[in-house]
């Protein structure tokens, strides 16, 4: 019988030897003497994750994860794993999401049940909403029922945290150590799902973590490698081709799922002559200057993107969930008579009425569709859309040229958000930085402003619109072998959701920049209040904060003032970028809601006192 790790030093010696063998030869290095290992459940879990390529752990250790933490200590000292200790569970959930989203490397989040797990689970909404696979491991209550455990939900019911987490994604309670293989099989099917990935929650009860168990390393599942699957029904492609041939105002809506298939989307658009409207999170699917790129469309949208949606008679949805902000709460396509929906997910593919579904891998489906699709006769419609795009570009240039405006809060002229965000976006593009956008007015103006030429140059967390995501995302660089320089675009409200990133980024050697656009209010919500009811209410404060002093008080952070003009801002950005670690640029921006102060809204949204009109419009839609 294997001795308990707490009662003998021998288990640590064996663990160190296994960790070294893993570093030297991976799974094969562990089975020289046969595939069966007698280890604790905690070590078996780490081995199972390593076999799936999970090497980075974002952790806040608690009383529920001391045994797992000890295994990670030994494996990290051997070089098999990396542990990124954080100071807030929401922050580390966001950092892990960004780590997976930007680098394609699956990490794990570690904490205990109770407040920590609830915060981490709340943060996992960003991963769930954006289809990003991340493991979450929570130290759970014991299985013997010896009495209430601290931080468990005080209710006479089993596996409460497992039930809660199952609502956010998929969840597995390791009540029995021998169930690890099935847990890991279900885990990789979730976090590595080819088109609907998401968070997978592992509940590790405190008393099962140190339990000795036999594990067959050979049969622990590796990372899911699902084959490409496409619709094999030729009749559907022919019917889709007939629809293409029968319409002259065809528009493609490229959702987040289209980013990994940008080349195929471009080939289809050019072949059939269809303008492409982007979602807030899919900028770059077509280069910004491409004549068929109509930019974003939806509740916020753009002049050109929303025009194309409103004038279309056939819509092709590619990798889109039909989110309210992307299709104007279902009212964005008033003239569309039919839909072609290309998606791997049945629910999303069948979202609209009068739909020809082409299920499967997007590139595979498009390749088969192109084999039968006629060349589009859409020149007249393309010319109309091009005119609207030129109008949008002229409008943007006018907004960017707006000189500083006298602001009642700052008591001096300051930049408007469009002018300031555009200056930072241009600088980020110039230095090849990844752009992260926080929720709120900065995000809403941002996806209208960015001019990406390829996918994944911008990460805007529009799925959950989680305040504090962008600044936390910078910590996602930790544990990577080739970190990318990141610029986090954030407002004062979003920054204060997760300011501990100032410490964690320095601790883990992150190089990046926070640009804080400060208007002393929740401007996006103020704008809604004013548009709907004519009054702002409790969305601002009267407390001035010296963010330069605040950030500069953290040793290792370079904090600079962004100035009051575009020229001063550009100089501040360059100075911040020269810093070898984390920097913060504070930019006071105009806070009132004059027309010149924002990028405008061009669609409908089913909120507030707009509800009745929007829902009546939705009932009259053809799709």
Note whether residue 530 is domain-resident: yes
119, 163: one domain: yes
Residue 107, C-beta contacts closer than 8 angstroms, at least 6 positions apart? 54, 56, 57, 58, 96, 99, 100, 134, 135, 479
Per-residue confidence (pLDDT) for residue 3, from 0 to 100: 46
Residue 294 falls inside a structural domain: yes
Distance CA 171, CA 185 (A): 12
Sign of CA dihedral 543, 549, 552, 555: negative
Look at residue 326 and tell me if it is in a domain.
Answer: yes
Chain segment 152-202, per-residue pLDDT in tens: 888 888 899 999 999 999 999 999 999 999 999 999 999 999 999 999 999
Q: For the CA atoms of 593, 598, 602, 607, what is the dihedral angle to 10 degrees?
A: -50
Residue 606: inside a domain: no
Same structural domain, 339 and 454: no
Are 175 and 208 contained in the same domain? yes
Residue 215 carries which DSSP code?
Answer: E
pLDDT of residue 521: 77
Domain count of the fold of the chain: 3
- Per residue in 29-82, pLDDT tens? 887 767 899 999 999 999 999 999 999 999 999 999 999 999 999 999 999 999
Tell me, yes or no, whether 401 lies in a domain: no
CATH number reported for the structural domain that contains residue 144 in this entry: 3.40.50.970
pLDDT exceeds 80 at position 544: yes
Percentage of the chain surpassing pLDDT 90?
83
* Opening angle at CA 368, ends 364 and 369, nearest 5: 115
User: What is the tens place of the pLDDT at every residue in 551-587?
Assistant: 999 999 999 999 999 999 999 999 999 999 999 999 9
pLDDT tens digits, 214-242: 999 999 999 999 999 999 999 999 999 99
For residue 274, the domain's CATH number is 3.40.50.1220
In a domain, 396, yes or no: no
d(CA 193, CA 594): 45
Q: Quick one: pLDDT band at residue 7, thresholds 50, 70, 90? A: very low
Q: Can you give the residue range of the structural domain that contains 76? A: 10-219
- Checking if the pLDDT of 244 tops 80, the result is yes
| Domain co-membership, 65 together with 160 | yes
């Amino acid at each position: 019988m294997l001795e308990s790790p707490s009662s003998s030093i021998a288990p640590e010696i064996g663990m160190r030897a296994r960790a070294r063998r893993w570093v030297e030869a991976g799974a094969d290095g562990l089975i020289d003497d046969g595939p069966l290992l007698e280890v604790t459940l905690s070590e078996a879990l780490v081995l199972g994750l390593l076999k799936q390529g999970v090497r980075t752990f974002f952790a806040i250790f608690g009383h529920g994860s001391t045994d797992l933490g000890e295994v990670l200590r030994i494996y990290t000292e051997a070089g098999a794993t990396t542990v990124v200790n954080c100071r807030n569970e929401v922050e580390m959930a966001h950092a892990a999401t960004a780590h997976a989203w930007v680098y394609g490397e699956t990490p794990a989040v570690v904490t205990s049940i109770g407040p920590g797990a609830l915060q981490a689970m709340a943060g996992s909404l960003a991963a769930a909403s954006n289809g990003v696979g991340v493991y979450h491991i929570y130290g759970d209550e014991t299985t013997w029922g010896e009495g209430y455990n601290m931080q468990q939900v005080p209710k006479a019911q089993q596996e409460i945290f497992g039930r809660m987490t199952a609502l956010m994604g998929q969840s597995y309670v390791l009540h029995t150590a021998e169930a690890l293989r099935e847990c890991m099989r279900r885990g990789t099917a979730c976090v590595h799902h080819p088109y609907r990935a998401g968070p997978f929650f592992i509940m590790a009860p405190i008393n099962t973590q140190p339990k000795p168990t036999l594990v067959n390393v050979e049969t622990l599942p590796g990372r899911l490698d699902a084959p490409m699957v496409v619709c094999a029904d030729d009749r559907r492609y022919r019917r889709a081709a007939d629809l293409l041939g029968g319409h002259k105002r065809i528009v493609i809506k490229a959702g987040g799922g289209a980013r990994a298939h940008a080349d195929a989307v471009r080939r289809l658009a050019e072949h059939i002559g269809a303008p492409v409207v982007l979602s807030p999170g899919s900028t770059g699917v077509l280069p910004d200057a491409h004549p068929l790129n109509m930019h974003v469309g939806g509740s916020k949208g753009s002049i050109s993107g929303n025009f194309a949606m409103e004038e279309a008679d056939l819509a092709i949805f590619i990798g889109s969930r039909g989110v309210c902000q992307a299709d104007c709460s279902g009212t964005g396509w008033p003239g569309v008579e039919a839909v072609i929906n290309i998606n791997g997910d049945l629910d999303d593919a069948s979202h609209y009425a009068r739909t020809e579904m082409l299920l499967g891998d997007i590139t595979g489906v498009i390749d088969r569709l192109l084999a039968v699709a006629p060349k589009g006769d859409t020149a007249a419609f393309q010319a109309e859309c091009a005119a609207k795009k030129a109008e949008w570009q002229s409008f943007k240039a006018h907004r960017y040229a707006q000189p500083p405006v006298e602001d009642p809060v700052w008591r001096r002229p300051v930049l408007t958000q469009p002018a300031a965000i555009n200056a930072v976006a241009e600088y980020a593009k110039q230095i090849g930085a990844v752009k992260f956008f926080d929720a709120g007015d900065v995000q809403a103006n941002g996806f209208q402003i960015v001019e990406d030429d390829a996918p994944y140059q911008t990460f805007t967390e529009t799925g959950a619109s989680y305040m504090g995501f962008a600044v936390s995302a910078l910590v996602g660089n930790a544990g990577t072998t080739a970190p990318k320089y990141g610029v986090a675009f954030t407002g004062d409200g979003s920054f204060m959701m997760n300011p501990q990133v100032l410490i964690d980024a320095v601790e883990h050697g992150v190089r990046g920049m926070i640009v804080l656009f400060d208007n002393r209010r929740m401007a996006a919500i103020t704008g809604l209040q004013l548009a709907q009811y004519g009054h702002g209410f409790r969305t601002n404060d009267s407390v001035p904060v010296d963010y330069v002093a605040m950030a500069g008080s953290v040793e290792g952070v370079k904090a600079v003032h962004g100035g009051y003009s575009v020229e001063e801002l550009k100089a501040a950005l360059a100075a911040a970028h020269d810093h070898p670690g984390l920097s913060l640029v504070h930019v006071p921006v105009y806070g009132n809601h004059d027309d010149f102060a924002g990028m405008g809204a061009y669609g409908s949204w089913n909120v507030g006192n707009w509800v009745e009109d929007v829902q009546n419009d939705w009932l009259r839609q053809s799709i």
